[in-house]
Amino acid sequence: MNRYTTSILIIICLSLIPLYAFSSEADHQSTSELVRVIKNIKEKEKTLKTFIATFSQIKKSQLLRETLKSEGLIYFDISGKILIKIIHPSLITLLLKDNMKVIYYPDLDKAEKKILGITTENILSKYFGIGQPIEMIQKQFEISLDEKISSGRYHLKMIPKNNVTARYIDLIEVVVNPKNGLPEQIYLREKHGDHTAIQLEYKTINEPIPPGIFSITLPEDYIDNNEER
């Protein structure tokens, strides 16, 4: 998968974890402020159905001198649909829906399709903890909540314990907006020293996604990665 879509896909999945993970600290923190934050986040979790957001990503790699920058849009539906449109530095569209992954390159009119053998909802649950019981989240992440930052946002630090995630990521930091319970800034420290930072700006929350967003018309010569070689 393209290096831009890989980083962004991981981040958008991880960015939803705070909606479910704050409660894992509830038994270990007794301050009334933390309890208030947890209740707020959990209430927002119950109502999240969809969102559309713009993103900007900056990635610093140990292997490359130049800083990688990308921008685009994310469409999310809690039923298990994610569409990521990268508009800079090149046009790339990534679609996850049902048990299918599609990567489309509009400038080249080329596409790749793969059946994953697992639904998007199960991917979010199995590898990123979304929708899992709190006990399972605690097994996957060591979580701490920093003091409220000056903007009124809350700063969450997460260290992966899940082998699948920990293989690639050392540390995740997320700044959450208490008004909607969603992350606005995400920082990842990856293995081997790479750093990725993402800024998210939400255009709509819990409004209908435009019809046809989660569908891509594939060119006739698209690559089917499930075909026997």
Looking at the whole model, is its pTM more than 0.85? no
Residue 10's CB: how many other CB atoms inside 10 A?
Answer: 20
What mean pLDDT comes out for the span 11-29?
47
Query: Residue 181 has what DSSP assignment?
Result: T
Q: Which of 75, 36, 34, 33 is nearest to 52 (CA)?
A: 75
| Mean pLDDT of the chain, nearest integer | 76
Is the domain spanning 3-136+194-224 CATH 1.10.3210? The answer is no
Which residues fall within 8 angstroms of residue 135, CB to CB, at 6 or more apart? none
When computed from its CA atoms, the radius of gyration of the chain, rounded to whole angstroms, is: 18
**DSSP string for 121-133:** HHHHHHHH-TT--
The model's pLDDT over 46-99, given as tens digits with 9 standing for 90+, comes to 788 899 999 998 988 877 778 889 899 999 888 888 899 999 988 999 998 888
The model's pLDDT over 30-43, given as tens digits with 9 standing for 90+, comes to 356 655 666 676 67
Question: What type of residue sits at position 21?
Answer: A
Integer Cα distance of 172 and 151 in angstroms? 20
Give domain limits for the chain.
3-136+194-224
Residue 225: per-residue pLDDT: 77
**Strands of 182-190's sheet in order across:** 141-145, 154-160, 169-177, 182-190, 195-205, 50-60, 68-77, 81-88, 92-97, 100-105, 110-115, 223-224
Whether residue 19 has pLDDT greater than 90: no
Residue bearing tokens 């050392």 = 170
Torsion of CA 64, 65, 66, 72, to 10 degrees: 30
